[in-house]
């Protein structure tokens, strides 16, 4: 089953810490996740709703979504899925009245790095499966925070809100 690791930073944006692991839900008409009927009446899946709730609770300014590219940098099916997920997240945040922007950041090698870090900390592979996605999320967020400090601007690619036609006209 696919999972989404959540991480958050301190209010000053200096240190990333793990939050939780959320089960991935199949998007309506899409791929990825469990697809076990977890869509709300507003069309938001449980995983997206959980992330929106966390962003609201923490007054998040940015929500970073990992962009899984191939080692060569090319994009594949998983990249398209992440882009679609990020687009759904933008819509859900806007519907909730949240001003947080969504940005895609390169996540190549983060799971490998997370496995290595957990192994170095003495965690056995079978026992760290439940936290590997959180550890990868921490690496993604910490990299984004570090890049922001180094460049003086937000890291990653901004996901623009799409104009959704009003079907009530």
From the first residue on, what is the mean pLDDT of each consecutive set of 10 residues in the chain (169 residues)? Answer: 89 94 78 48 82 96 91 84 94 93 84 65 65 86 93 94 50
Q: Which residues lie across from 101 on neighbouring strands?
A: 62
Do 84 and 45 meet the contact criterion of CB atoms below 8 Å apart?
Answer: no
pLDDT tens digits, 45-70: 999 999 999 999 999 999 999 998 87
* Rg of the chain (C-alpha set): 16
Q: What is the pLDDT of residue 142?
A: 92
**pTM beyond 0.85, yes or no:** no
pLDDT tens digits, 92-101: 999 999 989 9
DSSP assignment of 109-168 equals THHHHHHHHHHHTT--HHHHTTTHHHHHHHHHHHHHHHHHHHHSS--SEE-PPPPPPPTT
């Amino acid at each position: 089953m696919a999972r989404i690791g959540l991480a958050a930073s301190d209010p000053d944006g200096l240190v990333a810490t793990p939050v939780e692991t959320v089960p991935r839900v199949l998007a309506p008409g899409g791929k990825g996740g469990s697809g076990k009927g977890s869509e709300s009446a507003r069309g938001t899946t449980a995983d997206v709703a959980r992330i929106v709730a966390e962003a609201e609770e923490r007054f998040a300014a940015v929500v970073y979504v990992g962009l899984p590219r191939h080692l060569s940098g090319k994009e594949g099916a998983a990249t398209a899925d992440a882009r679609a997920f990020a687009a759904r997240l933008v819509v859900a945040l806007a519907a909730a009245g949240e001003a947080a922007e969504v940005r895609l950041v390169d996540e190549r090698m983060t799971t490998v790095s997370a496995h290595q870090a957990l192994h170095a900390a003495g965690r056995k592979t079978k026992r760290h499966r439940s936290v590997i996605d959180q550890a990868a999320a921490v690496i993604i967020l910490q990299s984004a925070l570090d890049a922001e400090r180094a460049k003086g601007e937000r890291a990653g690619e901004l996901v623009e809100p799409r104009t959704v036609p009003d079907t009530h006209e």
